[in-house]
Homo-oligomer: A and B are copies of this chain.
C-alpha cells in the first residue's frame, strides 16, 4: 500500500505553485469572487481510510458534480425506466447541445450534460415528496453529515442567468420529455447546482460508487449493475468535451464541475476529490486535472 498522505502532499507541493492556474467561472458573482489560490485534495480508500491536504475541508459549489448524485437517486427510485428518457452515450462537442436535442427528438444524449440532468431533475421532482429536502437528506445520509446544504444565492444566480437551461427545459417539454412544470424542474435543478460540499464530503458521498452501491455506513443504495452504469457514464461523459483527454490523463471515472471540483474513483479502491477553482479552456479544473494525473501515475492506480 502506497503512503497516500505522502503522495498527496507531494502532489500538492508540485501543483500549488503552477503559475497559470486557469480562469475562474465568471457567469455568476458567487463563483467569480472565489480566490484562485484555493486548492484541496481528499482521498478516501475502500478500506475506510481518509487522507487530505490543503483546503479539503472548505465547502465549494459542486455544480455539475451533483448531477451524478441526482442520477444515482433517480436510478434508485425508478431503475431502468431512466433510460427511456435519457441516453447513455457521449455527446460530442458542447456548442450545439440544443441542436442535438432537436435532432434526437428530445432525448438527451446522457444524464451528465445539462439537458440530461434536467430530465433527471424532472424524475426526482415526480418521485420525491419534497424534492429539495429529500435530495439533501439523501446526500446527508450518504456522507453522514447534516451540515451539507444548498447555497440559496447561487441557486438564485443560476436561475436569473440560466437562459440556456430554460431553453433546454422548454425544448424537452415541447418533446413531452418533461412531466412537471419547467419552473418547478429548473428550481430543483438550480438548487442541485448550488449544493455546497467540501472535498472530503464529496469523497464520502461518492464512496458508494467505489463500493458496489453501499455508502460509508454500509447501507445499500443502488445495486452493482447501477454502479457499473454510473461509472461507465462518468468515464465516457463526465468531463464536458474533455472526456477522452481525462480518460487518457487520469484514466478513472469521474465528474467535474465549473466550481472547480473534480471527483474521480477506482472501484474497490478509492475515491479522490480535488478542488481548485481555476478552469482550463474546456471548463475543467486546471490544478485538479494535473493533481489527478500525478496521483494515478504515482499511486499506479488507474483503469489502464
Interface residues of A (CB under 8 A from B): 87-93, 95-96, 98-100, 102-104, 109-110, 163-164, 166-168, 170-171, 173-174, 182, 227-229, 231-233, 235-237, 241-245, 247-248, 251, 253, 267, 303-304
**Min CB–CB distance A205 → chain B (angstroms):** 18
**Min CB–CB distance A251 → chain B (angstroms):** 7
Question: Which residues of chain B have C-beta atoms less than 8 A from A232's C-beta?
Answer: 244, 247-248, 251, 304
How far apart are the CA atoms of A219 and B270 in the complex, in Å?
Answer: 34
How far apart are the CA atoms of A166 and B88 in the complex, in Å?
Answer: 27
**Min CB–CB distance A73 → chain B (angstroms):** 19
Question: 13 interchain pairs (CB within 8 A)?
Answer: A89-B245, A90-B92, A163-B171, A163-B174, A164-B174, A227-B304, A232-B244, A232-B248, A233-B244, A233-B248, A235-B235, A236-B236, A267-B303
Question: Which residues of chain B have C-beta atoms less than 8 A from A95's C-beta?
Answer: 102
B92 near A109 with CB under 8 A, answer yes
A98 near B99 with CB under 8 A, answer yes
Question: Which residues of chain B have C-beta atoms less than 8 A from A99's C-beta?
Answer: 96, 98-99, 102-103
How far apart are the CA atoms of A99 and B170 in the complex, in Å?
Answer: 14
A98 near B98 with CB under 8 A, answer yes
Partner of A228, one of B91, B104, B241, B251: B251
